[in-house]
Amino acid sequence: MQTPVDVVPGFNLQPRLRVFAGSEMVLGWGKIMLLKLIRETGSIAEAARTMDMSYNHAWNLIRIMNNNFKDPLVAASRGGKGKGGAR
């Protein structure tokens, strides 16, 4: 869930960045958080757990991003703990 950066009384403006390819959103706040957690943990599974989402859902988001940018945003190797990983 997205939370405000600073909680202050009154109104504040928090614009959202969203990138679309046609009608498909290929980058937004949730996908950016997923990318950040993959970078920090080196693991798609760990990033998904941290965001309380399924591994399959995380992979679907990664496929959408990788298919719509010139270069893939996430590179993964199979192998499980200690052998595989993502960057």
pLDDT one-digit tens code per residue, 43-86 = 999 999 999 999 999 999 999 999 999 999 999 888 766 667 88
Q: What is the DSSP string of the chain?
A: ----SS--SS--------EEETTEEEE-HHHHHHHHHHHHHS-HHHHHHHTT--HHHHHHHHHHHHHHSSS-S--EE--STTT-EE-
Return d(Cα 55, Cα 49) in angstroms, integer.
8
Prediction pTM value: 0.79
